[in-house]
Chain A
Amino acid sequence: MNTQFWIVQAFNGVSYGALLFLVGAGLSLIFGVMRIVNLSHGAYFLWGGYIALSVIHATGSWALSLPLAALAVAAIGIAMERLFLRSAGLEYLRNGAIAAGVGVLINLAISARWPQLIGGGWIQFVIISVVAALAVYALLQRISVVPIDNDVLRQVLLTVGFAFLFQQAALDIWGGNNMDINPPSEFTQSIVVGGIYLPLYRVFMIGMAVAIGIVLWLAMEKTRMGAAVRATVDDAQMARGVGIDTNRISMFIFALGAFLAALGGVIGGAFLGIYPGLDFEMLPLAFAVVIIGGMGSLGGAAIGALAVGLADNFGKALFPEISYFTLYAPMVLILAIKPTGLFGRE
C-alpha cells in the first residue's frame, strides 16, 4: 500500500466518478425542475449504449455515435415526458399510444390462444391489432385521468413500469449478448506519468465530464434560459407568475437529462460494456450521486459523483466484504442529517 497505490486508486475513483456525474447530473436536474423521480434513467443510459452500437455498426464512426445516440434518447425522453408525465393537451395522443401497445398485446394473446385465427399472416395481425386498439382507445377516452404532476409515488411506479418495458424492448431489439463499445485505438493506450500507467480512456472520461460540467454550469449561470431554469427550481409557481414558460422548461430539462444519461451510456459502454441488466445496476448508483449531492443542484451532483466514485473504489479495494454497505450507509447518514442532500435546497 505505497503512495503509488493510493494515487492510482484515487485516479480510478475520480474517473469512475466522472462517468457517474454524467448520469447523476441529468437525474438531479430532472428532479430539481420537475420534482420527478425518474426510475427509467438507467434505461436511458443503457439505450444510449445500444443505439451507439447500432450507429457504429452502420457508419463505423464512434465519434458520430456520441451525439446521435444522445439525441435519439433525448427524443425518447421528450416523448415520455410529453405523453405520460405531463400529458396536458396531448391526452388523445397518450391514449392512442397506450391503446396501440395494448392492442398489440391483445393480438399476441389471441394468437397464443387461437393460432389458426391469425395464421401468421401480417394482414390479420394488423387488422386484429387495430380493432383491439380502437376498442381500447374508446374505453380509455372515457376514463378521466388524474394528473400525476405532484404525486411522487405514482411517478416512481410509472417510470419503473417504463423501465421494465425499455428493458424488454432492448432485449428484443439488440439481443442479450454482452457487448462492448470499442473507441478509436488512440483511446485504448495508456500514458505513463512518474511510473504510473494512466489509461487514456479514463483520462478522456474525466475530461469529458469536466467539459460538460463547465458547459452546463455556464448555461445555467450565464444564459437567460439558465436563469429561467434556476427560477423554476427555486419556485415554479413564482416563475410562472413572472412569465416563465415552465412547461417548456420542464420539457427541455427532461430532454437534457435523457441526453446526458445516454451520453454516459456511450462513454461508459466502452468501459463497463453494454448488456441487459446494466440499467438497473446504474440506477441505484445514480441515485446515490443525487442523494449525496442534493437533488436539483449541479455542483452537488459533481461532488456526489466524486464521493460515490471514490467511496466505491476505496470501499472495494479496502473492505471487499462490505463494499456495497460502504456505499449506501453514508447515503443514509447524509439523508438522515440533511434530507435534501449536501447541496440541496429545502
Chain B
Amino acid sequence: MTTTKRHRLAPMLFGSCLALSLAAPASAEELRIGFVAPLTGIFAQVGKDMQDGFQLYLDQHGGKLGGADVKFIVEDEQGKPDTAVTKAKKLVLNDKVHMFIGGLLASSGYALAPVSSAEKTLYISSVAAADDLTQRDLKKYPYFIRTSWTSSQPHHALGQWACDQGYKKIVSVAADYAFGYEVAGGFQKAFEDCGGQIIQKIWPPLGTKDFGPYLPTIKADADAIFSLMVGPMSLQFPKQLRGAGIKKPIIGGGTSYDEFALPFMGDEVIGDVSGLHYSAALPTPKNEAFVKAYRTKYGKVPSYYSENNYTTAQWIDEAMKKAGGKWPGPEAFIKIMSEIKLDSVRGPIAMDDMRNPVQNIYIKKVEKKKMFGYEKDELWNTVIKTYPNVGQFWTYGKDKFLAQPLYSRDFPPCKFCN
C-alpha cells in the first residue's frame, strides 16, 4: 500500500505544479513572489496571519502589484530554519521566483539571508527582526532588505518613555534567546542612558509557561517590570504574575501584548503598557479600513504580523509602479524601494541607508473598550504616545551605535544588578 501510494502521489502532484505554471496568463509581466511561512506545527497561526496580510492586499488589488500579474507561491517552513532554507531554495530553483519574503523566527531570518546572497535573489524580511541583519552583517547580504523592524527599534523608545514616567528601578524578564536579548538590550540602553536602572535581569527559556521558578526571585524594590514574551508565554506571564500577588506595573516588549495574543488574554492585563511599530487600535482612517477589511475576511483582528506583510505588499506595489510594471532586477528593485516614502497602514515609513524602515513607534496601553463601531467591549492597544520617525539607531547615530557590540545576554552589562 505504501508503495502504491508513493508512486501515485509524487508524480501526480508534481504534475499539478507544472500544469499550474503553464496555465498562468502571459499577457502582462508576471511577477513571481515566493512566501516562506510556517503553516504547520507550533507557529501555524502566525504563519497564517503573515500570509493573510499579504493575500489581503493582493486581493484588494486584483492580484496585481504595480501592473504585473503576481504569482504568489506560499511554502511551509514548518517553523524550522533547516526547512526554511530548503523551501527558499525550492522557490528560487524550481519556481524561479523574483523574490522571496517571510521567515518568522530570527533563526529563520539568519538562515534565509545567506540563501539570498548565494542565489542572487531578493529576500524581503517582512517579520524576522534580528538586529544584525540590517546592522553589522548587512554587507554580507547585498540582496536583502527589511520592511519590518529591528528587535531593539521600538524598545529604545519604550525605554525613554519608561524613564520619562519617572520609573527609577526596573526588573527585566525576557525570553532567553537572541530576540529577547535584543529587545531587552534596547530597552535597557535607552532607559539607563536617561538615568534609570535595570536592577535585575531574568531570562526564562523560550516556551516557558510555568513562571513559578522565576516570580519569587523578582526583587521587591523595583518600580516596574519589563517583560518580553513570545507565543504562549504572553498569556501566562501576566496572569501568573498577578496571581502571585505582584502588583507592579508591567511595561511589555512588542510581542508581549501584540494583537496576536491580546484577544485571548484576561482582564488582568488592562493597564499594561507596551511599545511596537503597529497597533490595531491606531485611530487613523487607513488603519480602520484595514482592520475592518481584515476582520471581515479572516474573522480576527490583524496582528503586527498581518500588517507588516500587508505593508510589504504595498511597498512592492509602489516599487513595481515606479519600475513601470517590469521587474528591474534585485539591486535596482532594492534601490527603488529605498527611495519610496510609503503612506502605510501603520503610518509614514521610509527606508534608512541600512535597508531598515524608519517609522513611528507607538506606546500602547491595554484598554477594554469599543472600537471602530464593533459592538462588544474588547481589549485594544490604545496608543498613548507616538514617537515619530524612529530609526534603528535611535538617537545614537549610526556610527556610534554600530561601534558597540550587538545586544546580548551580557550587553549592556547589568551595572545595577546584585
Direct contact of A and B (CB under 8 A): yes
**Selected interface stretch from B40-48, B103-111, B340-348, B390-398:** B40-48
> Is the pair B13, A113 in contact by a Cβ cutoff of 8 Å?
yes
If A178-B234, A320-B205 touch, whether A276 touches B210 (CB-CB below 8 Å) is: no
> Which residues of A (108-149) have their CB < 8 Å from a CB of B?
109-110, 112-113, 136, 139-140, 143
User: Chain B 41-63 against A: per-residue CB contact (8 Å), 1 yes, 0 no?
Assistant: 11111111000000000000000
> Is the pair A201, B212 in contact by a Cβ cutoff of 8 Å?
no
Contacts of A143 in B (CB 8 A): 1
Assembled-state Cα–Cα distance A106/B4 (Å)? 11
> Is the pair B205, A168 in contact by a Cβ cutoff of 8 Å?
no
Judge whether A259 is part of the interface by a CB distance below 8 angstroms: no
If A5-B217, A273-B209, A275-B231 touch, whether A112 touches B16 (CB-CB below 8 Å) is: yes
Assembled-state Cα–Cα distance A179/B231 (Å)? 10
A199 contact from B9, B47, B214, B244, Cβ within 8 A: B244
Assembled-state Cα–Cα distance A182/B239 (Å)? 10
Q: Which residue of A lies closest to B42 (CB)?
A: A277
Assembled-state Cα–Cα distance A140/B46 (Å)? 39
If A12-B210, A16-B210, A199-B244 touch, whether A113 touches B48 (CB-CB below 8 Å) is: no
Contacts of A140 in B (CB 8 A): 1
If A113-B15, A178-B261, A273-B235 touch, whether A317 touches B1 (CB-CB below 8 Å) is: no
Judge whether A4 is part of the interface by a CB distance below 8 angstroms: yes
Judge whether A271 is part of the interface by a CB distance below 8 angstroms: yes
Judge whether A257 is part of the interface by a CB distance below 8 angstroms: no
> Which residues of A (256-283) have their CB < 8 Å from a CB of B?
271-273, 275-278, 281
User: Chain B 241-263 against A: per-residue CB contact (8 Å), 1 yes, 0 no?
Assistant: 00111100000000000001100
Q: Which residue of A lies closest to B9 (CB)?
A: A109
Judge whether A254 is part of the interface by a CB distance below 8 angstroms: no
> Is the pair A271, B236 in contact by a Cβ cutoff of 8 Å?
yes
Please indicate which of the listed interface residues A9, A192, A314 has the most CB atoms of chain B within 10 Å of its own CB: A9
Assembled-state Cα–Cα distance A275/B234 (Å)? 12
> Is the pair A317, B13 in contact by a Cβ cutoff of 8 Å?
no
Contacts of B213 in A (CB 8 A): 9, 12-13, 312-314, 316-317
> Is the pair B235, A188 in contact by a Cβ cutoff of 8 Å?
no
B42 contact from A8, A110, A179, A276, Cβ within 8 A: A276
Q: Which residue of A lies closest to B209 (CB)?
A: A272
> Is the pair B244, A171 in contact by a Cβ cutoff of 8 Å?
no
Judge whether A175 is part of the interface by a CB distance below 8 angstroms: yes
Q: Which residue of A lies closest to B231 (CB)?
A: A178
> Is the pair B212, A313 in contact by a Cβ cutoff of 8 Å?
yes
> Is the pair B217, A317 in contact by a Cβ cutoff of 8 Å?
yes
Contacts of B232 in A (CB 8 A): 178, 272-273, 275, 278
User: Chain B 213-228 against A: per-residue CB contact (8 Å), 1 yes, 0 no?
Assistant: 1111100000000000
A216 CB → nearest B CB, Å = 24
Assembled-state Cα–Cα distance A313/B216 (Å)? 12
Contacts of B1 in A (CB 8 A): 102, 136, 139-140, 143
B207 contact from A106, A136, A197, A281, Cβ within 8 A: A281
> Is the pair A188, B236 in contact by a Cβ cutoff of 8 Å?
no
Contacts of A276 in B (CB 8 A): 41-42, 44-45
Q: How many residues of A contact B (CB 8 A)?
A: 52
Assembled-state Cα–Cα distance A102/B244 (Å)? 50
Q: Which residue of B lies closest to A188 (CB)?
A: B243
Contacts of A81 in B (CB 8 A): none
Judge whether B374 is part of the interface by a CB distance below 8 angstroms: no
B43 contact from A176, A190, A201, A278, Cβ within 8 A: A176
Judge whether B203 is part of the interface by a CB distance below 8 angstroms: yes
Judge whether B266 is part of the interface by a CB distance below 8 angstroms: yes
> Is the pair B176, A320 in contact by a Cβ cutoff of 8 Å?
yes
> Which residues of A (44-97) have their CB < 8 Å from a CB of B?
none
Judge whether A180 is part of the interface by a CB distance below 8 angstroms: yes
Judge whether B12 is part of the interface by a CB distance below 8 angstroms: yes
> Is the pair A180, B8 in contact by a Cβ cutoff of 8 Å?
no
> Is the pair A171, B209 in contact by a Cβ cutoff of 8 Å?
no
> Is the pair A109, B243 in contact by a Cβ cutoff of 8 Å?
no
> Is the pair A277, B209 in contact by a Cβ cutoff of 8 Å?
no
Assembled-state Cα–Cα distance A109/B13 (Å)? 7
Judge whether A323 is part of the interface by a CB distance below 8 angstroms: yes
Q: Which residue of A lies closest to B45 (CB)?
A: A176
Q: Which residue of A lies closest to B79 (CB)?
A: A277
> Is the pair A178, B44 in contact by a Cβ cutoff of 8 Å?
no
B285 CB → nearest A CB, Å = 28
Judge whether A15 is part of the interface by a CB distance below 8 angstroms: yes
> Which residues of B (1-59) have their CB < 8 Å from a CB of A?
1, 5, 8-9, 12-13, 15-16, 40-48
A187 CB → nearest B CB, Å = 9
A209 CB → nearest B CB, Å = 15
Judge whether A150 is part of the interface by a CB distance below 8 angstroms: no
Judge whether B67 is part of the interface by a CB distance below 8 angstroms: no
B12 contact from A113, A139, A171, Cβ within 8 A: A113
Assembled-state Cα–Cα distance A124/B245 (Å)? 60
Assembled-state Cα–Cα distance A240/B44 (Å)? 48
A8 contact from B12, B45, B204, B216, Cβ within 8 A: B216
> Which residues of B (139-153) have their CB < 8 Å from a CB of A?
none
Assembled-state Cα–Cα distance A153/B240 (Å)? 40
A42 CB → nearest B CB, Å = 13
Assembled-state Cα–Cα distance A276/B264 (Å)? 15
Assembled-state Cα–Cα distance A313/B48 (Å)? 34
> Is the pair B12, A109 in contact by a Cβ cutoff of 8 Å?
yes
A176 contact from B16, B48, B236, B243, Cβ within 8 A: B48
Contacts of B234 in A (CB 8 A): 178
> Is the pair A188, B239 in contact by a Cβ cutoff of 8 Å?
yes
Assembled-state Cα–Cα distance A3/B342 (Å)? 57
Q: Which residue of A lies closest to B13 (CB)?
A: A112
> Is the pair A190, B245 in contact by a Cβ cutoff of 8 Å?
yes
Assembled-state Cα–Cα distance A105/B13 (Å)? 12
Contacts of B15 in A (CB 8 A): 113
Assembled-state Cα–Cα distance A105/B117 (Å)? 39
B235 contact from A113, A180, A199, Cβ within 8 A: A180
Contacts of A201 in B (CB 8 A): 243
Q: Which residue of B lies closest to A276 (CB)?
A: B42
Assembled-state Cα–Cα distance A190/B247 (Å)? 12
Q: Which residue of B lies closest to A16 (CB)?
A: B210
Assembled-state Cα–Cα distance A112/B74 (Å)? 15
Contacts of A176 in B (CB 8 A): 42-48
Contacts of A4 in B (CB 8 A): 216
Assembled-state Cα–Cα distance A140/B12 (Å)? 23
Q: Which residue of A lies closest to B38 (CB)?
A: A176
Contacts of A190 in B (CB 8 A): 243-245
Instruction: Add 5 more A-B contacts to A171-B40, A271-B210 (CB < 8 A).
Output: A188-B239, A188-B243, A197-B244, A271-B240, A273-B232
13 CB-based A-B contacts, threshold 8 Å: A16-B212, A109-B13, A112-B12, A113-B12, A175-B45, A178-B232, A180-B266, A271-B240, A275-B42, A275-B232, A276-B41, A276-B42, A316-B204
